[in-house]
């Protein structure tokens, strides 16, 4: 594609849009022919496009390309939701989602859209010659539980998890955001002792079935210690 005359990538550029439409159309038609979408009885439950911060580099042409890509996605009629991650101005009916180490702060751009975390980053890329970063599994569990506690409805570790949910019952998420001290939480006339920087999950609003601080990593568990969040999404 880089040899196509006057082409400019990921912006409102006709040669690029012609190429993208042709490629995407071929892929979607192949998937439909094989019955891969959930509405056909397959396992594909959603489709994703990612542009995000690149849009701002192009200004208005970048925003026009985002709208064009959204219209193209709707045109395909796959029967499953289309999402755009890291895209705050996603036009309807496309759902804007978030990627990162911590996404509990995120809210979709419309109140009727679900709060979705499409990439829970378990680590970061290793820089050449640099140290190898490690993230405690306890911290990952905490970030996931806090996301659900604050209204999250979907999360995956790259790319999708399929699950069933049966309505009814009661569930609670109790959080201790102090990184040094235990906390006692009074909830429905019962007392719960929460370790530092942890969330307890009560599936029946009574019994603790999981606490994020009690997960144990098999890698360097004896050499690592707990600490508050240190990752910053860029």
Which positions are catalytic? 50, 119
Report CA-CA distances (Å) from 207 to 48, 90, 141, 176, 195: 37, 40, 18, 17, 16
For the chain, give the longest Cα–Cα distance.
71
């Amino acid at each position: 594609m880089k040899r196509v005359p006057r082409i400019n990538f990921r912006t409102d550029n006709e040669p690029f849009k012609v190429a993208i439409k042709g490629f995407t159309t071929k892929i979607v038609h192949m998937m439909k022919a094989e019955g891969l979408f959930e509405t056909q009885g397959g396992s594909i439950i959603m489709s994703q496009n990612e542009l995000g911060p690149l849009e701002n580099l192009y200004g208005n042409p970048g925003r026009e390309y985002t709208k064009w890509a959204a219209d193209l996605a709707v045109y395909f009629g796959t029967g499953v939701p289309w999402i755009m991650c890291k895209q705050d101005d996603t036009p309807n009916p496309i759902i804007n989602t978030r990627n990162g180490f911590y996404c509990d702060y995120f809210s979709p751009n419309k109140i009727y859209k679900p709060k979705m975390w499409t990439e829970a980053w378990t680590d970061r890329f290793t820089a050449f010659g640099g140290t190898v970063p490690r993230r405690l599994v306890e911290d990952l569990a905490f970030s996931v539980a806090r996301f659900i506690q604050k209204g999250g409805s979907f999360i995956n570790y790259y790319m999708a998890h399929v699950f069933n949910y049966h309505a009814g019952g009661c569930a609670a998420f109790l959080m201790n955001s102090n990184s040094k001290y235990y906390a006692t939480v009074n909830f429905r006339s019962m007392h719960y002792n929460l370790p530092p920087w942890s969330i307890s999950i009560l599936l029946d609003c009574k019994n603790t079935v999981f606490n994020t601080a009690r997960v144990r990593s098999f890698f360097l568990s004896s050499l690592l210690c707990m600490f508050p969040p240190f990752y910053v999404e860029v």
